[in-house]
Amino acid sequence: MRGRKMSGEKSQNVQDVFLNHVRKNKMPVTVFLVNGVKLQGVISWFDNFCVLLRRDAHVQLVYKHAISTVMPAQPVQLFDPNQDAAAAADGE
Per-residue model confidence as pLDDT tens digits over 51-85: 999 999 999 999 999 999 999 999 888 877 776 56
* Closest to 78 in 3D by CA, of 31, 35, 23, 40: 23
Ranges of H-type helices in the chain: 14-24, 81-91
Structural domains for the chain: 14-74 (2.30.30.100)
**What's the whole-model pTM score?**
0.74
Determine the Cα–Cα distance for residues 83 and 72; give it in Å rounded to an integer. Answer: 24
Per-residue model confidence as pLDDT tens digits over 9-67: 567 799 999 999 999 999 999 999 999 999 999 999 999 999 999 999 999 999 999 99
Determine the Cα–Cα distance for residues 31 and 28; give it in Å rounded to an integer. Answer: 10
